[in-house]
Every structure is written in C-alpha cells, then in structure tokens.
C-alpha cells in the first residue's frame, strides 16, 4: 500500500463489516498489532454472533481500518474492543472517523456510556481518545501480556 501524506483529503467510506472481509481484516490485525491479535475464529464470532458493532473503513475498495464495539443487552454501555488503521493511512483522520460514526450510530440506539482501554505507552491511541472527548477513569496494572499497564477511558454522551 502506498503511504498517504498527513493532511491528505482522501475520504474513506465507512460500512458494516461483512464475512467476505475476513481475510483483509485478519491481515490488518497482523500488521497493526504485534501481540494479542485476533484469530480467525474470534473475528468470525465478532462478525456473526457477538452483540457488537463492527465497522470497516475502505479507500478505493481496500480495507484500511476497522472498529469493533461490544454491546450488552439492557445496558447502555458500549465498549470499544478494537480499533486499528493501516500504518500507510494513519494521521489522516480515519481512526477519529471510525469512532465518531460508531458513537453516532450507537447513540441513536440509546447507548450513552463508551469505554475502552489503551496501553499507557500507546501515545497515538491515548491522544486520539483524549481528542475524542474521553477521560481516564482508572489505571490497570500489568493488563497486557507483555506486562504493560492499561488506562481505562470513559466518555458519557
């Protein structure tokens, strides 16, 4: 994939993920997360069975980002479970767009509380979440397999 310059006006389209997207989603997972990537079975479950919102961002037909939000029955809480953007398409607003569109869709359905976790050393994710109006609720020690702490963020609409 070519590298897109910061400030580029390329507009991704955002749509629900389909089962045909599985290979591209798995590939993106591998590229974006060195550790703790989802496997085929987990993605399959999230696509078909889980109570979730699963969106992908595509540019010229190619999947360049995705977001998975877990939902629960009878509770207005939505947990952003995964968010990723292909390294060649970062810093042009795709992560932010995926978050905004998910929140807009879910707020129409009555979801009011949004939560997510990010590694303390994940500056890109932390800055993105703060810029989207999230605030740190708590710090969880040794949350990840590599021993890193995580921050739990929350946003109330």
Chain residues that interact with ligand COA, rule: CB under 6 A: 32-33, 82-85, 90-96, 118, 122-125, 127-128, 131
Q: Is 145 exposed, middle or buried (0-12, 13-18, 19+ CB in 10 A)?
A: exposed
The CB-of-74 to ligand COA minimum distance in angstroms stands at 26
Closer of 74 and 103 to ligand COA (Cβ):
103
Taking residue 75's Cβ as centre, other Cβ atoms within 10 Å add up to 10
DSSP state of 129: H
- Both structure tokens of 69: 């939000």
User: Whole-angstrom Cα distance, residue 141 to residue 36?
Assistant: 17
For ligand COA, which is the closer residue by CB, 73 or 117?
117
Q: Which residue is nearest to ligand COA (CB)?
A: 95
DSSP conformation class of 19: G
Q: Which is nearer to ligand COA, 47 or 68 (CB)?
A: 68
Nearer to ligand COA, 47 or 86 (CB): 86
- Give the nearest distance from C-beta 59 to ligand COA in angstroms: 12
């Amino acid at each position: 994939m070519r590298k897109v310059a910061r400030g580029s006006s390329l507009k991704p389209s955002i749509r629900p993920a389909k089962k045909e997207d599985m290979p591209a989603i798995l590939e993106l997972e591998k590229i974006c997360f060195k550790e703790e990537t989802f496997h085929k079975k987990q993605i399959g479950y999230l696509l078909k069975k889980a109570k979730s919102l699963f969106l992908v961002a595509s540019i010229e037909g190619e999947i360049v980002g995705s977001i998975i939000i877990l939902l629960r029955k009878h509770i207005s809480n939505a947990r952003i479970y995964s968010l990723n953007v292909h390294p060649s398409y970062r810093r042009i607003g795709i992560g932010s767009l995926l978050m905004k569109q998910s929140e807009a869709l879910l707020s129409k359905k009555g979801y009011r509380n949004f939560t997510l976790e990010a590694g303390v050393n994940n500056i890109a994710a932390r800055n993105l979440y703060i810029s989207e109006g999230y605030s740190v609720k708590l710090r969880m020690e040794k949350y990840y397999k590599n021993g890193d702490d995580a921050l739990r963020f929350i946003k109330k609409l």
